[in-house]
Amino acid sequence: MAGTAAAAARPRTPRSVVRSPLHRAPIASVFTNGPRRLTAVCGSTTHAFPYHDSTAMRVPSRPSMVPLLRGAPVLLALAGALPAQSAPEPPVISGTPRLEILPAQRVVRARDTLRLRARLLDGDGREVPGVTIRFFPAGGYFEGSVEPDGLVSSGSTGTMPITVSAVIPGRRPIVEKVEVRMVPGPARRVAIAPEATVLAVGQRFRYGATAYDDGGDRRADAPAWTSSNPAVVRVTAQGLATAVAPGTATLTATAGPAKQTITVRVPSARIASVELTPSTAEARTGDVIRFKAVAKDARGAVIAGVRPSWSFSPGEGTIDADGAFVGYVQGSYTVSANFGGAGAEATVTLAARDVRRPVEVIGRLPRTRFTTEEVWLHPNGRYAYLGSGSGGDVFYTVDISDPAKPVVTDSMVLNTRRVNDLMTTADGKWLVSTREGASDRKNGIVISSLEDPAHPKKVAEFTDGVTAGVHSAFVYTQPRFGTHVYLTNDGTGAFHIVDLNDPYHPKQVAEWRTPRPDAGRTLHDVDVQDGLAYLSYWNDGLVILDVGNGIKGGTPSNPVLVSQYKYDLNDLYRQVEAAGGPGFIRGTHTAWRHRNYVFIADEVFPASGVQGAKDASAGRAYGRLQVIDISDMDKPKSVAWYEPEFGGVHNIWVAGDTLYMGAYNGGFRAFDVSGELRGDLRAQQREMVHLNTADLNGYVKNAAMTWGVVVRDGVMYVNDMYNGLWIARMKPKRELTP
Is residue 23 pLDDT above 80, yes or no? Answer: no
Is residue 668 pLDDT above 70, yes or no? Answer: yes
Output the pLDDT for position 86: 61
User: What stretch of H or E contains 483?
Assistant: strand 482-488
Summarize the confidence of residues 552-573 as an average pLDDT. 97
642: confidence class by pLDDT, cuts 50, 70, 90 = very high
Selected from 1.10.8.60, 2.130.10.10, 3.30.365.10, 3.60.9.10, the CATH number assigned to the domain covering 362-730 reads: 2.130.10.10
Q: Which SS3 state, helix, strand or coil, does residue 6 take?
A: helix
29: confidence class by pLDDT, cuts 50, 70, 90 = very low
Is residue 65 pLDDT above 60, yes or no? Answer: no
Output the pLDDT for position 76: 39
Is residue 52 pLDDT above 60, yes or no? Answer: no
Name beta bridge partners: 182. 108, 158
Tell me if 5-182 shares its fold with 362-730. no
Dump the DSSP string for 573-641: THHHHHHH-SS-EEEEEEEEEETTEEEEEEEEE-SS--TT--GGGT---B--EEEEE-SSTTS-EEEEE
Selected from 3.20.20.140, 2.60.40.10, 3.40.190.10, 3.30.70.100, the CATH number assigned to the domain covering 278-289+300-351 reads: 2.60.40.10
Summarize the confidence of residues 31-38 as an average pLDDT. 32
Least confident of 66-80, 505-519, 621-635: 66-80
The domain locations on the chain are: 5-182, 199-266, 278-289+300-351, 362-730
- CA–CA separation, 77 vs 1, rounded Å? 16
Dump the DSSP string for 381-444: SSEEEEEEESS--EEEEEE-SSTTS-EEEEEEE-S-SB---EEE-TTSSEEEEE-BS-TTS--S
Summarize the confidence of residues 214-227 as an average pLDDT. 95
Q: What percent of the chain has pLDDT over 70?
A: 88
Summarize the confidence of residues 616-634 as an average pLDDT. 94
Task: Answer yes or no: are the C-beta atoms of 703 and 368 closer than 8 Å.
Answer: no
Please name the amino acid found at residue 697: N
Task: Answer yes or no: are the C-beta atoms of 472 and 420 closer than 8 Å.
Answer: yes
Output the pLDDT for position 264: 98
H helix and E strand count, the chain: 3, 60
User: Each residue of 681-693: pLDDT tens digit?
Assistant: 999 999 999 999 9
Is residue 549 pLDDT above 50, yes or no? Answer: yes
Output the pLDDT for position 34: 31
Q: Which SS3 state, helix, strand or coil, does residue 673 take?
A: coil
Least confident of 118-122, 128-132, 243-247, 611-615: 611-615
| CA proximity to 346, closest of 330, 323, 317 | 323
User: Each residue of 707-729: pLDDT tens digit?
Assistant: 999 999 999 999 999 999 999 99
User: Each residue of 90-138: pLDDT tens digit?
Assistant: 778 889 999 999 999 999 999 999 999 999 999 999 999 999 999 999 9
Summarize the confidence of residues 173-192 as an average pLDDT. 97
- CA–CA separation, 185 vs 183, rounded Å? 7
Dump the DSSP string for 26-82: -EEEEE--SSEEEEEEETTEEEEEEE-TT-EEEEESS--SS--SSS--BEEEEPPP-
Is residue 80 pLDDT above 60, yes or no? Answer: no
Highest mean pLDDT among 77-81, 250-254, 517-521, 731-735: 250-254
Residue partners of 720: CB distance under 8 A and separation at least 6: 372, 662, 668, 693, 695, 698, 704, 705, 706, 707, 726
The CATH fold of domain 5-182: Immunoglobulin-like (2.60.40)
Ramachandran assignment for 366, one of left (phi > 0), alpha (psi -120 to 50 degrees), beta (any other): beta
User: Each residue of 538-547: pLDDT tens digit?
Assistant: 999 999 999 9
Output the pLDDT for position 517: 86
User: Each residue of 335-350: pLDDT tens digit?
Assistant: 999 998 899 999 999 9
Output the pLDDT for position 87: 59
Please name the amino acid found at residue 13: T
Output the pLDDT for position 59: 33
Is residue 41 pLDDT above 70, yes or no? Answer: no
Output the pLDDT for position 513: 97
451: confidence class by pLDDT, cuts 50, 70, 90 = very high
Is residue 63 pLDDT above 50, yes or no? Answer: no
Is residue 69 pLDDT above 70, yes or no? Answer: no
User: What stretch of H or E contains 563?
Assistant: strand 560-565
Cis status of the peptide bond prior to 184, with omega within 30 of 0: no
Question: Whole-prediction pTM value?
Answer: 0.88
Higher pLDDT among residues 277 and 735, named by residue? 277
The CATH fold of domain 199-266: Immunoglobulin-like (2.60.40)
